[in-house]
Amino acid sequence: MKVFGFDLLPYPEHMDHLKVDGELPYPLPKQHFRPDLAVSNYREHLDAWALMEELGFDGIGFNEHHTSPYGMMASPNLMAAAASQRTNRMKLLIYGNCLPIHEPLRLAEELAMLDCLTDGRLISGFVRGIPREYIAYGVDLGESRWPQGCLPAPFGTSCQVLWTFPSSPY
């Protein structure tokens, strides 16, 4: 058995008092964001992930969410890169990048870089995301689905070319 933690990296201040009909308004006005809390929150989570390694966890999982205080991880790749410099053994699971809002080749390159930075400790998965992320990026939600078991063609092709081409550095 392997034991992984999973961290949404939520904003550290409760915002229930701002809810309208049980939901936070979108977009949430910036006056409700405190940069000092965000800075300390990121630092505390990085410290916690390093402690998890000391305690024997096998890995930590990250995911991507946008425009939400429920998850302050707009780039799980950046967080995995930061965690890779604070840990030595734990697997770093990105579950995952929201494929429909990314440029496929760029994402494939970042994951290849992360695999090198982590010395092979990277595990990567992909997610569809939630509606507010599509709104934020101007992507049609209807274009976010792909056949079960298949990656969207542009992403799959980019990965195949990048990761198997003889002159690729990855």
Q: Note whether 111 and 122 are within 8 A (CB).
A: yes
Q: Residue 94: what pLDDT?
A: 95
7-54 per-position pLDDT tens digit? 999 999 999 999 999 988 877 888 999 999 999 999 999 999 999 999
In a domain, 126, yes or no: yes
Higher pLDDT, 80 or 103: 80
Predicted structure pTM score? 0.84
pLDDT 10s digits, 47-81: 999 999 999 999 999 999 888 888 899 999 999 99
Q: Residue 170 falls within a domain, yes or no?
A: no
17 is in which domain, residue-wise?
A: 4-164
Is residue 61 a part of any domain in this protein? yes
Phi, psi for residue 6 in degrees, rounded to 5: -135, 130
Q: Evaluate whether residue 169 is within a structural domain.
A: no
Write the CB contacts of 86 (distance below 8 Å, at least 6 apart in sequence).
Answer: 46, 49, 50
SS3 118: coil
Whole-angstrom CA distances from 152 to 4, 90, 99, 104 are 28, 29, 8, 9
- 17 in any annotated domain: yes
pLDDT interval class at 170 (50, 70, 90): low
Q: How many structural domains are present in the chain?
A: 1
For range 79-99, the mean pLDDT: 95
